[in-house]
Amino acid sequence: MSRFGEWIRRRRFATAGHIGMLDGRLNQLAAESKVTAAQTTAQATDVAGQLADVQAQLVELKRLTADTREASGYTRRAIELGLPAGPADGSHSRPTAENWFESHYWQAADQILSFIAAAGLGIGGKDVADVGSGDGVIDLALATRGAPASLVGYDVTTTDADALLKVAAEAGIEELPANLSFEQSGYETIPAADSSIDFVVTWSTFEHVSEPLAMFKEIRRILRPTGALMLQIWPLYYSDHGGHLWLTHGGGFRHLTTADEQLLADLKGKVGTDARRPADDEYLSLNRLTLDELNELLLAADMKVARAELLSETVNIPPQVEGFPLSDLLISSIQLLAVPLPSSPGGD
């Protein structure tokens, strides 16, 4: 019983007219309460609907951006289901230059910036390095949209700034920002000073690094003690598309169910998912890192994982791969934030 109702009960000695007045007031309050409750419920429903829409958009964005380096020509959902997103023969079409720029400049950069922001960090005013800059589109986005003090893109083949500018011009960008530059790195070395970088970013690169421990140690060397590494790998080797064969073989764990000799013969003379290299060379470059091995290498380089997000797939598992760990087969991607261990050497 409400406090108001209890008050009425204790006033039974009042006149009938008084009681009638109070009953009327009580009914009025009850009616007003129902209206207010209905309005509150409607507002809550509206807010819940908006929240659901945002969450749905975020889920879809993650699906679309997880594979932007390698598979921007077809949808994330098609990959997850193992369905062809291209011609009926199972081959996939290469993305257009417009789609490629869109997926890298907006979607991939959004994922990097939002993942860092979710950890309470940001690259604004910081010194940033990208290990594996490729064509430089992601770096252009980070330099213009993240506003770092400096961003240097490193790659074993120096990024072609003139080619990047031509692509950027189609998006209305007439010149590269002053805070962006590109340099050539070695397979095991980064030409940057000790403790000179606040953030290292590497996107869909480390599955190709031939000496990952040496490169992790280099990243640790150039990071400031308060710095961080943001790393993304898609696809992990033992997942459905881990062999980078979708343009030639589609899905279905072909790299695990077909002998290397046969695959290399099939790939001879073809272009890889990275249009800048032959398909057989791209396949041979894969280091076949697993999640556990990745973590062990980071620890060996005096870094630890502080934040991580995994992407798994819905796949049909052929009999030939039933002996592989499910975590390797089903987890297709990881993005993580790693920080220097407190006891590791370095210093400003």
Please check whether residues 33 and 81 belong to one and the same domain: no
CB 149 within 8 A of CB 125: yes
* Domain annotation covers residue 9: yes
Q: Which two tokens stand for residue 291?
A: 């999640």
173, pLDDT greater than 80: yes
Does residue 346 belong to any structural domain of this protein? no
What per-residue confidence (pLDDT) applies to 172? 84
Q: Using one digit for the tens of pLDDT, what is the confidence trace for 18-57? A: 555 555 666 676 676 666 666 666 676 776 666 666 555 5
Q: Is there a single domain that holds both residue 180 and residue 293?
A: yes
Whether 89 and 212 map to the same domain: the answer is: yes
Q: Is residue 345 part of a domain?
A: no
Amino acid at 29: L
Reduced to 3 states (helix: H, G, I; strand: E, B; else coil), residue 108 is helix
Q: Domain range holding 293? A: 66-340
Question: Alpha helices, DSSP H only, in the chain?
Answer: 3-10, 16-65, 68-71, 76-81, 97-102, 109-118, 137-145, 161-169, 212-222, 254-257, 260-267, 279-284, 291-300, 326-330
Query: pLDDT for 282-321, tens place per residue?
Result: 999 999 999 999 999 999 999 999 999 999 989 999 999 9
> Both 7 and 89 in a single domain?
no
51 or 182: which carries more pLDDT confidence? 182
The tens digit of pLDDT for each residue in 114-151 reads: 999 999 999 999 999 999 999 999 999 999 999 999 99
Counting every residue, how long is the chain? 348
Cα(67)–Cα(77) distance, integer angstroms = 11
Structural domain tally of the chain?
A: 2
Name the percent of the chain lying above pLDDT 70: 71
Residues 221 and 310 in one domain: yes
Q: Do residues 147 and 279 both lie within one domain? A: yes
Q: Of 31, 54, 77, which closes a domain?
A: 54
Whether residue 159 sits in one domain with residue 27: no
The answer as to whether 60 is a domain residue is no
**32-36, 74-78, 196-200, 336-340 — which is least confidently predicted?**
74-78
> Is residue 101 scored above 90 in pLDDT?
no
179 and 286: one domain?
yes
Sheet holding 197-203, edge to edge: 180-184, 150-155, 127-131, 197-203, 223-233, 331-340, 303-312
Angle subtended by helix axes 212-222 and 291-300, to nearest 10? 50
Residue 234 located in a structural domain: yes
**73 with 215, same domain?**
yes
Q: Are residues 320 and 246 both part of a single domain?
A: yes
Answer yes or no: do 219 and 266 share one domain. Answer: yes
Read off the pTM.
0.72
- Does 300 fall in a domain? yes
Residues 50, 166, single domain; the answer is no
Question: Where residue 229 sits, what CATH number does that domain have?
Answer: 3.40.50.150
Measured distance CA(307)–CA(83) in Å, rounded? 31
